[in-house]
Each structure stands twice: as structure tokens, then as C-alpha cells.
A and B are shown apart, each in its own frame.
Chain A
Amino acid sequence: MSNELVNAIADMREEDALRIVREMVESGSDPMTILDAAREAMAVVGQRYEEGTYFLPELMLAGEMLGQITEIVKPALAKAPEVTRYGKVVIGTVQGDIHDIGKNIVTFMLDVNGFDVLDLGVDVPPQKFVEAIRDFQPQVVGLSGFLTLAFDAMKETVDAIKEAGLRDGVKIMIGGGQVTEEVKTYTGADAYGRDAMAGVSLAKQWVGAK
């Protein structure tokens, strides 16, 4: 059953996937088995996205399926599932910019690749990044921005992290819209990624994951 579930999710058969989950719940399957299967399927989806066979429709549908499955399984779940994580990432769209599609894709891809991600949302002031770094203790910080105004906001955020004395404890990656190597240098970030996969491989490299 759980193999069938993995395949249904990974192959984007939403109705089949939800039907299988309901059947498994009704027949008394361990909810953890269901969630493990869902997670395994998410990894397949992430891999297919990396390989260039899956794109936004598949990522978004996979996210939707995962949300629905979690809802179905939740009542039967005794405790929150524990997952081994490579490391922690704080991510957000910088102050003044309210675009979130790119950031959400990176968040999804980091999550399915084994990172614990704290998403601060959009239009995030530098100080909020600083506080999140203090509280959440991430190894990696991701700054997203679509507009040219984001160049300065990214720089201000990096500066604020520096001033708070937290710069040495984190690696900072930036991305989105018009971001290039020059922008990376200007902002004082450690690296920039052109797409979600680049973000994942930077994060993996920084936390020493394979």
C-alpha cells in the first residue's frame, strides 16, 4: 500500500493518492507509515524537479497533496513526527519587496531535501532576520528579492546581521529577479543562486551534507 502511495504522489495522481491514504487510515495503518511514504514521495518530486522533468505545477500539486494527507492523518497521530534534518535555514523576502513565489519554491526544495526551514514571509525588516537568527540558530540564511530595490535591502540586512555580531555564525545566500554575482559582492552575501537547486546545493555544501 505505501509503495502505491509513494508512486501515486510522485506521479501526480492526486485522487489516487488521497484514496489510498483514506483506505490506509480506515484499515488501521500506522499514520507514521503514511507520512513516511508521503515524505519519500516528496523526495522523488524534488529529485525530478532537480533533473528538469518536474516544474512549478508539480511542486505546487505535491505541496497540496502533502497538506491534504497531513490533515487526514493528523487525528490519528499521537505525536509530531521526528525527522532527521541536515541543518536549519532562515529565509525571507527582504524589506520593501512583497514577492514570494521564488522564495516559496526554495523553501519547498530545502524542506524536501532535509532542511528545517523558518520562513519569515515577505517585506521582512533586517531586525526581524537578526532576531530569527538569534532564536532559531540557523547555519544558513536565505535572502530573496525580485525588484532592484532589494539590492539595498539585502545589503542592509547583511549589515544588520554583521552589527549584531552574528555574521560569522551563518552563511548567507541571496537570489531572485535581477540578482547576479555583482549583486552578491555588493550586498556582502556569501553566494547567490540562480534557481532553487542552486540554493539547495549551497545550503548542503555549507552544512557539510552530501
Chain B
Amino acid sequence: MEKQLSPDEKLEALWQGVLEKKDPQGNPLQFQSPEAEKAYKERVQRFRDAIEMKKLPDRVPVTVFPSMFPWTSAGMTVEEAMYNYDKCAEVFQKFVLEFEPDVHWGAYAPGPGKFFEILDYKLYSWPGHGVAPEHSYQCNEGEYMKPEEYDDLIQDPTGYFIHLYLPRVFGALGGFQMLPFFPGILEMYGLALSFIPFGLPPVQSTFQALFEAGAEALKWVGPIGGTDGVLATLGFPNILGGFTKAPFDVIGDTLRGTKGIMLDLYRRPDKLLKAMEVLTPLMIKMGIGSAQSTGNPLIFIPLHKGADGFLSDEQFKKFYWPTLKEVILGLIEGGCVPLPALEGFWNTRLEVVQDVPKGKTLWMVDQSDMVQAKKTLGQNACLLGNVPSSLLNLGTPQDVRDYVKNLIETVGKDGGLIVCNGAFFDDAKPENVKAMVDAAKEFGVYA
């Protein structure tokens, strides 16, 4: 019988996999120089030490976690970055080599434009499809799940996604509505009846679109995924394993929409709670699954509708936090390092979310008060942030330098800090971004 690995052993295996990185053929990665190999391992270790809070890293790690900045700053439009995969990859490599962050997060942000076209994706508008060429894609908020559909989602989330949700957000997947009820495929008698939909034109054209979309995704992931390999040989690790979401945001962002979920708190609170309970293990599975397939431990969790001002304390504690906490603990159990991002202000939530096991998570902080964050959440978790977008955009390199210096002095003294931008950004002065990285390296050395 195979031995069950403990959570710590699973995590250790992932970190070891990052350190002893393999090339796509499964052979040990050939670094471009012994210096690159040394830098790679030091950078991974620096991040890991900061996250685990057991011993001080050699210095405060620093990273840049941008949205479209690598491409816009290179004079490329977002549209080009989404449609020219080779150039997208090439520009990203230059960005990492120029700014030299300790870790990077891959060139995945733009995504393959053609792929979204094939699927007729409706959830987002992107350049050429509702957004100007130079702007980033943006979500089209809406009520993609109707209030009376909670029971369908609760009974069979996967079936709900296939039959109802996906055809609504992908124009090309209308044929999914006609697919058979899969758990009904059981015995020989009558079996062929279940397969009739696959013979019908709408289903066949949906599958045709899926084949094309899959082929396009492969075409894209070659250069984009290859970038991670090239950058690793040059000494720059990417330790991002994938992403997942807080169950409240799953429903509030892209199923019921902000208004829908806020009304559900009053009109159908029990259904909402039940649906989140059903989604929780799926969100854990999603994170662990992508960490296993990429071999990287960090699982990003963008947090939206729990921010200050959205819910009362009581509502936050009842509706938002319990299932998010379960997702965080489930990911840790699966050997991952959850990376929740506190987008916007979360000052009133810090005392609640500090209830996580020490040294097992990393939290991206945007505009919350960092001193307060350090006193609460920061006692148990490493904080990543929080150089403001407005400063990177409109300030001077000296302003940024001062900000980073102050950040390190006030909250980075005893470790548990990684310097980074606080929010995802498309636009900034490159010299300010450079100043952020350089300042962390200059002021962040631990004696």
C-alpha cells in the first residue's frame, strides 16, 4: 500500500520539485550558468523563508505582480499581447530580465485572444471585443445564474456548469444544453438513447469549437509556458501553482453578480450558505489540482466581496469567512501555500482573517493599513505588498524608494514581508517599478 503523505510532506515535495526543477522531458534543468543556478535556488529559498517565518531570509524578498504592465511598458498594446503569442512571451522575458524580481508570475495574464473568439466568450470584454486595443480586458458583471437555480447548483454543481452556466458565458457552447444526464448512463438497455444528442448538429458544432479552442490553447501555451522554462534557466523562478476562489466570490463575481448575491443574503440566505458549502471542496480541489499539475506550491486567491464596506462584520463572519477559511485550510492540507489577495481595503477584517496557522500562507495586501495588518494577520502570515498603484503611476522614483524603505522599517524588521505592488496594474512609470525592486534589495538586507 502506498504511504499517505502528510500535508508537510506534500508541501516539502512541491518545494523540492521547484528547487530541483526538471525540463519538459523530465531531465534536470540545464541552467545557463552556475551563477544562474545559484541565484535561482537563493530566490526560491528567500521566498520560502519569508513565507514560513521560521528563520529570517537573507533579505526581504521582492517581486512585481503586474497585470498588463510588462507589455504596455514595452510599447505593446494589450491586443497585441493577446494575439501575438511569441511576442507576448518575448516581451515578458525582457521584463523579468530588466526588473530582476526574486520571483515572477508568468506571462499568462493576457491569455490567447483567438481562443476567446473561438468560444465567443461573453463574461469579459477584451481588446477589439468591447474594449480599446490599449486597455485590459474587463468583466461584464451580470446575473449569469438565476435565483431559482440555486437548487440545481446545490444538487449537481458540475451538471449545472455544463448544462446551464457554460452555454450562457460561451456563445459557442450552446450545444452543452442538449447533453445527456451523465449519471443516467448505467445499463445496456436504452443506452443509445442517451447518446443521441452527440449526433445532433448543435452538439457537434459545440464539440468542433472545443477542439479548435483546445488547439489554440496549445498553440498559446507553447511560447507562454516555455517562458517559465527559459527564465528558470536564467535564474528566475515562477512558483505560482494556480488559482482558486473564495466560495462567496465564486457566486458573487460571476454567477449571481454583486447585486444578486447581496439580495440573496436577505431573500435566500440558506440557499446561499448551502451553495457555498457545496462549492468549498471543489475550490480546494481546483487549487490542489493545479499545484500538482504545475508543480508549484502557491495558490492565488483573489478576494473581492469581503472587503471593507461590502458586508457588515456579522455578515462577513457568517457568509464570507467560514468557507474561505475552509478553502485555505484545505489547500494547506493538500500541501499548497494559499496566497489570498486582499484587494482594496480590509482594515475591518484583519482580526478575523488572522485566524490561520502560522507560516503556511502568504497574503497580498493592497490599501489596508500595513502596520495594523502586521499586528494582526502579520503575526501568523507573511504579507506581500503594498506599494500603491497611484505611487507607481504618478510618483517619482524617490517617492517609491522612501515608501519601500519605510515599509521595510515599520513592518519588515522581523521578517514576514515581501515587497510588491499592492494591486494589479497596467500602467506605471517603469523607473518607479525599478525603484521598488532596487529599494527592497538595498534596504531589505537582514544583518
Contact = CB atoms under 8 A, between A and B. Distances in A.
Contacts of B391: 182
A192 to B, nearest CB: 10
Contact of B138 (A53, A61, A97, A182): A97
Contacts of B379: none
A195 B394 contact: no
Contacts of A185: 394
A147 B428 CA distance: 12
B116 interface: no
A149 B140 contact: no
Nearest to B391: A182
Nearest to B344: A177
A80 interface: no
A148 B140 contact: no
A203 B437 CA distance: 40
A104 B265 CA distance: 19
A149 B262 contact: no
Interface string A48-66: 0000011111011100100
A12 B269 CA distance: 14
- Give the interface residue-count category, chain B: 35 or more
Interface in A178-210: 178-180, 182-183, 185-186, 195
Interface in B312-347: 312, 315, 344
A147 B423 CA distance: 10
B49 interface: no
A96 B131 contact: yes
Contacts of B344: 177
A25 to B, nearest CB: 23
Contact of B388 (A54, A180, A186): A180
Contacts of B395: 182
Contacts of B267: 14, 61
B390 A57 contact: no
Contact of B309 (A55, A96, A99, A148): A55
A101 interface: yes
A119 interface: no
Given A61-B263, A61-B266, A96-B131, A178 B423 contact: yes
A170 interface: no
Nearest to B425: A148
B310 A56 contact: yes
A182 B394 contact: yes
A180 B390 contact: yes
B393 interface: yes
A115 interface: no
Interface residues of A, number: 31
B394 A183 contact: yes
A72 interface: no
A148 B388 CA distance: 11
B143 interface: no
A156 interface: no
Given A100-B141, A149-B427, A56 B262 contact: yes
A101 B262 CA distance: 12
B426 interface: yes
A101 B258 contact: yes
Interface in B242-266: 258-259, 262-263, 265-266
Contacts of B367: 178
Given A56-B311, A61-B266, A151-B393, A96 B132 contact: yes
A73 interface: no
A160 interface: no
Most buried by B among A178, A179, A182: A178
Given A55-B310, A101-B141, A186-B394, A149 B315 contact: no
Contacts of B315: 55, 57
A96 B263 CA distance: 29
Contacts of B388: 178, 180
Interface in B408-447: 423, 425-428
Contacts of B262: 56-57, 59-61
A158 to B, nearest CB: 15
A20 interface: no
A98 interface: yes
B265 A98 contact: no
A59 B258 CA distance: 12
B131 A57 contact: no
B426 A147 contact: yes
B387 to A, nearest CB: 12
Nearest to B319: A57
Closest 7 CB pairs of A and B: A178-B389, A57-B262, A180-B390, A57-B265, A60-B262, A148-B427, A56-B262
Interface of A: 12, 14, 53-57, 59-61, 64, 96-101, 147-149, 151-152, 177-180, 182-183, 185-186, 195
Given A56-B310, A61-B267, 6 more contacts: A14-B266, A55-B312, A57-B315, A60-B263, A177-B344, A183-B394
